Amino acid sequence: MHPDLQHLIHLQALDNTAERLRRRIEEIPLAQQSLDARLAQRTASADAVKQRIAANQAARRDIDKDLSVVQTRLSKFKNQLMEVKTNKEYQAMQKEMAHAEEEVSAHETRMLERMEEGDGLAAELKTAEAALKTEQAVVAGERTKLEAERATDQHQLETTLAERARVVSQLSPDALATFQRIAHGRKGLAMAEARDGLCVVCHVRLRPQAFNEVRRNDQLIQCDSCSRILYYVPVPTPATPS
């Protein structure tokens, strides 16, 4: 095989690897953001329950106040009851007191409802906080994994680029210039295998004479259609059974 062709095939493989690594490195911040979002969602869920608990507690304090107002009124009535002079006054007072007792009972019912709600919310908070804790552990693990991936990818990228520089130094300037020019206009893909008479990248059939020349792998031949540099990978001869 022509040495330039061999180096160019190698160069293309290294460029593909470098591109894949760069893309993976670029995706890491996005993956980290999605981890942040997952955690934020769980935190928000727990916070929402806490807010409902605060509202429940405020409502209970209000009921307590209402209750003590009525109870004060009730005890005042009880004192006044001793001092009433007439039966009519006594009956009116009794009526007021009965009314106040009803109010007390209504507030107590409301309080019981709120207390039950409070128990439910406490259980909900416990579940939400456990879920948050689990998510925090999962996210921390994922973060460590991403950091390790980034370090590995970064290291591999540096190794690949060093190898690329070594390959470039062995190429003839013309071959390198041709490769760079095609790669620039073809999303980094300057090389194309020719197989079964076709350019495997653009799928255009080569002229039979051109395909024969490509099969020899002894010169740089570009695809008539996509301009990529063509090379041929010999089909391995099937092993003869011994």
Tell me which DSSP letter residue 187 carries.
T
Q: Give least dist CB 184 to Zn ion, A.
A: 16
Give the whole-angstrom CA distance, residue 168 versus residue 148: 30
Tell me which DSSP letter residue 85 carries.
-
Among 21, 121, 199, 221, binds Zn ion (CB under 5 A): 199
| Cα-only R_g, the chain | 41
Q: Between 135 and 193, whose beta carbon lies closer to Zn ion?
A: 193
2 forms beta bridges with none
Q: Give least dist CB 164 to Zn ion, A.
A: 24
Query: What is the rounded end-to-end Cα distance, in angstroms, of the chain?
Result: 30
Tell me the two tokens of residue 29: 């911040």
Tell me the two tokens of residue 77: 């009535």
Which listed range, 88-96, 157-165, 206-214, 220-228, lies at the site for Zn ion (CB under 5 A)? Answer: 220-228
Q: Give least dist CB 221 to Zn ion, A.
A: 11
- The verdict on 222 binding Zn ion (CB under 5 A) reads no
Give the whole-angstrom CA distance, residue 217 versus residue 1: 5
| Rounded-to-10 torsion of CA 198, 180, 7, 162 | -140
Among 157, 176, 190, 223, binds Zn ion (CB under 5 A): 223
- The verdict on 225 binding Zn ion (CB under 5 A) reads yes
Among 60, 202, 205, 222, binds Zn ion (CB under 5 A): 202
Say how many residues touch Zn ion, by CB under 5 A. 5
Site string for Zn ion, 133-162 (x = CB under 5 A): ------------------------------
The residues binding Zn ion (CB under 5 A) are 199, 202, 223, 225-226
